[in-house]
Structure 1
Amino acid sequence: MKEISEYTELKFYEVLKHKISIQDFEQWVYETKELESELPEDTYTDLISLNYKDKYAYNELEKIVEPFIDNGKFEIKRISKYLESIIDRDEKCAESIEMTYDLYCSGYAFLRRLGLTYGLLISCPPAGNYQKSWNEITKAVQDELLDKLYPEIIIDAKNALEWINKGKIIIKDTVNEIGDYEYDDLRNQEEINQGEIEVIDLDKKEKKKGWKFWK
């Protein structure tokens, strides 16, 4: 298959993941004359002749552009972005921490420690005698909870990012029977152990290993 530019691949990825609207994608296609020489002739013809207002347009578009996308590459970038956000403790760090739980539940078992030790606490933060969502607790309580997760979480996020950067975690462009992306785990046993969970005592901020609840 003919290779396309990284920018074009990104646009294809963004429209399929609903990061940009199909209407904005249509406008981009019409405005980007370089696509005619970059894409196979039949692909370009399919893109400019597609009725983007049709209710089945997204399904047809997916058939056209999906073969040109390496989803594994974009998954790596997406996960790395969340890990960097956690490490930097930026304004979206709470959202990024919560995403580690969602990613773990989506089949990324190498994020087990981040997802279950930290992400679950943000997804269902303890507040009094019952649990509330992150947006239901006050800013003061949010900051207090984050303070209890830092700086330890930085170490775990750096470990996960290092596995990715060193090629110890290789996400494939294939999905399993339940739709989760498959990946190769090339970590050694010590690194695998680093990714296992610990339970944080939020009151004493002490780590207790091997709590049976999580097994």
Structure 2
Amino acid sequence: MLHNISTAIKITFFKFLARQITITYFEKWVYQTADLEQALKPDDYIELLSLDFTQEKNKYYSDCRYKITKIIEKYINIAEYNTWKLEKLLHDFLDRKGNLAEILKQFYYLYCHDYGFLKNLGLYYLCLYYSHDFSNHSLERSSAGEIAGIEENLSDILPEVDGEIQKVLSWLKQGKIKIINDVGSIYGVDYIDNRIKSKKSK
């Protein structure tokens, strides 16, 4: 059963899982966050304090991250985490944070990994990709130059992409799309589609 942790702690857990903060940063945060002890079960809190965070700098780095992740996963809802991660990607694109072509590429991968409601965003990326005649290269192996070429021409469709992103954000906010856990799915996630049938294909 999930504990009722604060939003601030939950967001830090999300950022760690998304690799947006380092193990070194996480270590400092653990020791500086007074209410963390009350938020976690005693055994989990003690285990977190006993971890060798210096493992980030040697071959045991992945082992340390794995142990932290196993503790964190007890206190979050994976569906809620996946919703947060998707919303962040959507807002990053609207706010022009990071490589826009790479973000659009992530939408394509999410569409392929059971997020069918991202179809339009995924297809925007495919259209840009193949318009540059990169058909002899896999999407996974796109070079920096190819990505730059895609991003350069992205400006032509930015209004359309922004509009589609706003639609997806509104679906999530209004509960028309609700991401859920699904252990039976190959990717462990699924979603409930509450949009009216006439709009599901748009």
Q: In structure 1, what is the Cα distance between the partners aligned to 2:184 and 2:6?
A: 28
Alignment TM-score, normalising by the size of structure 2: 0.77
Residue 179 of structure 1 and its aligned partner are, at CA, apart by: 2.5
1:178 to 172, 186, 189: 186
Residue 118 of structure 2 is matched in structure 1 by 111
Q: Quick check: 1:73 aligned with 2:80?
A: yes
Cα distance, 1:88 vs structure 2: 5.6
Cα displacement string for residues 9-47 of structure 1 (whole angstroms, at most 9, x for unaligned residues): 222222233222223212221222332233222221121
Q: How does 1:92-171 map to 2 (within 5 A)?
A: 92-116=99-123, 118-122=124-128, 124-127=129-132, 133=142, 135-137=144-146, 142-143=151-152, 145-171=153-179
Judge which range, 61-70 or 28-37, deviates more. 28-37
Letter in 2 for 1:8: I
Quote how far apart the aligned CAs of 1:166 are.
Answer: 1.0
Unaligned runs of 5+ in 1: 195-215
Deviates more, 1:99-108 or 1:150-159: 150-159
Does residue 46 in structure 1 map to residue 47 in structure 2?
yes
CA contact (8 A) 1:170 1:183 kept: yes
Contact between 2:183 and 2:189, CA under 8 Å: does it hold in 1?
Answer: yes
Residues 135 and 160 of structure 1, relative CA distance in 2, 3 Å threshold: same
2-structure distance, mates of 1:8, 1:75:
16
Which residue number corresponds to residue 14 of structure 2?
Answer: 13
The structure with the larger Rg is: 1
- What's 1:209 paired with? none
Q: Which runs of 5 or more structure 2 residues have no equivalent in the other structure?
A: none
Q: Distance in 1 between matches of 2:39 and 2:133?
A: 58
Amino acid at match of 1:179: Y
**Structure 1 pair 121–176 and aligned structure 2 pair: CA distance change class (3 A):** farther
Q: CA deviation at 1:58?
A: 2.6
Aligned residue type for 1:78:
K
Q: Which has the higher strand share?
A: 1
Q: Could you say what the CA RMSD is over the residues aligned between the two structures, in angstroms?
A: 2.9
Q: What secondary structure, in the 3-state scheme, does the structure 1 residue paired with 2:53 have?
A: coil
1:53 to partner: Cα distance: 4.3
Q: Percent identity?
A: 30
Whether the 8 Å CA contact 1:100–1:114 is kept in 2: the answer is yes
Structure 1 letter corresponding to 2:127: L
Higher helix proportion (structure 1 or 2) = 2
1:204 aligns with none
Question: Greater CA deviation, 34-43 or 126-135?
Answer: 126-135
Residues 77 and 59 of structure 1: CA distance in aligned 2, closer, same or farther (over 3 Å):
closer
In structure 2, distance between residues paired with 1:165 and 1:95: 24
Instruction: Give SS of 1:73's match.
Output: helix
Query: Residues of 1 paired with 2:49 and 2:98: CA distance?
Result: 40
The one-character-per-residue Cα deviations of 1:43-63 (angstroms, maximum 9, x if unpaired) are 211211223345332332222
